[in-house]
Amino acid sequence: MIRRSEEVALSTILQSDYVFFFKGRPAREEVVKSLASGLYPQVKKNIAAKALYEAVAEVEKLNNVLETGFFIPHAKLVEIDRFHAALAVIPEGFDDPKSGATVKAALLLLTPNKPLFFQQHLNMLSKLSRMFQPAFIESIAAMKDGRAVCEAVKKAE
């Protein structure tokens, strides 16, 4: 059965406090772990920190780095009822050996693990991949604060 296509705006789930800037060239695992830690306050009522880290670590095993240099670690959690997102901006980037891309932006996406949300989840992944093209990534990598990044996201949507 084809489910109803539903759009969720990234600007409604990404708050400026959850845009994290990284200095230097961090390791990929470090970026993912930092995003999970940073996002934890949003979901702490629903899920234990350990469970969140384990779920995100499981996702880490899958290579979701796109050739555009955008990385979308994402996890589906039964404990949550709405989307949550945190964005890492890495101006110097890190190299992903598998795709050969330099990653300057990574977005941790948490989606409710419920059938009704899966269509929205796919829409979100598609939208993120479309939005975070190299030029857009370069533009946010040059920004200094989360609010400006969120404004750019809103504009891009």
Partner 1 sequence: MNLPPRFKQVFVLSTAMLSFISFWKAASIVLCDFGSSAYYAGGIAMKAFGPAFPWFIMAVMLFAGVMLMVYVESCSMFVRGGVYMVVREAMGKVMAKGTVSALMFDYVITGPISAITAGLYISYLLANLLPLVDINWQVSPNTFAMIFGALVTAYFWLENIKGVEESGENNVKIVGFVALIAGVLLVWSAYTIYLRGFTLPPFELNFTPAALGWAREMAWLHPVGVIGLFMAFGHSILALSGLETLAQVYREIEDPKLPNLKKTALTVFIFSILFTGVLTFLAALIIPGDLVATKYADNLLSGLALELEGPYWARLALQSIVVISGGLILIGAINTSFVGANGMLNRVAEDGILHDWFRHLHKKYGTTCRIINLVAITQISIILISRGNIFLLGEAYAFGVIWSLIFNTLALIVLRFKDTETEREWMFPLNLKINRVHVPIGLMLVFTVLLTTGVMNLLTKRIATASGLAFSAVFFLIFQLSERMNEKKIRLFQQDEEAEEKLNLRQEADINTVIPELGKSRRVLVPVRNPNNLVHLKSVLEHTSADDTDIVVLLAKISKSMEFGREQNVVMAEDKELLRSVVLLAEKYGKTVKPMLVFSNDPFYSIAQVAQAAGVSEIVMGVSGSTGAEVQLEKLAMAWGMLQKPGSSLTVTAKVVWEGRQMSYKLS
Binders of partner 1 in range 100-139 (CB under 8 A): 100, 118-119, 121-123, 125-131, 133-135
- Is 105 within 8 Å of 88 (Cβ atoms)? yes
Count, residues in the chain: 157
- 27 touching partner 1, by CB under 8 A: no
- 5 touching partner 1, by CB under 8 A: yes
- 78 touching partner 1, by CB under 8 A: no
19 or 107: CB nearest partner 1: 107
129/133 Cα distance (integer angstroms): 7
CB of residue 31 to partner 1, shortest distance in Å: 18
- 58 touching partner 1, by CB under 8 A: no
CB of residue 132 to partner 1, shortest distance in Å: 8
Q: Which residues bind partner 1 (CB under 8 A)?
A: 1-3, 5, 62, 64, 66-68, 70, 72, 74, 76, 99-100, 118-119, 121-123, 125-131, 133-135
